[in-house]
C-alpha cells in the first residue's frame, strides 16, 4: 500500500461503508487514521481497509 498522507482520497473496502469515498484528516498511529466522508462525518478507520483512488 502506498504511503498514507493527510488530504488524499481513498475508498473504504470493508464493512457496511464499503465503496464510500473518504479523505484522510489525521494519522492516529501505524494502523489507524481518522477519515471524513462526503457528508462531513469523521470516523477512525484501519488503514488496511482503505484503497487509494486512482
DSSP the chain: -PPP-TT-EEEE-SSTTTT-EEEEEEE-SSSEEEEEETTS-EEEEEGGGEEE--
Q: How far apart are CA 16 and CA 28, in angstroms?
A: 22
In this model, does residue 1 exceed pLDDT 90?
no
In this prediction the pTM is: 0.87
pLDDT in tens, 10-36: 999 999 999 999 999 999 999 999 999
Amino acid at each position: 500500500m502506498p504511503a498514507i498522507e493527510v488530504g488524499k482520497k481513498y475508498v473504504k473496502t470493508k464493512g457496511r461503508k464499503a465503496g464510500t469515498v473518504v479523505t484522510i484528516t489525521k494519522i492516529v498511529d501505524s494502523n489507524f487514521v481518522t477519515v471524513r466522508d462526503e457528508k462531513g462525518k469523521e470516523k477512525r478507520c484501519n488503514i488496511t481497509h482503505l484503497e487509494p483512488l486512482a
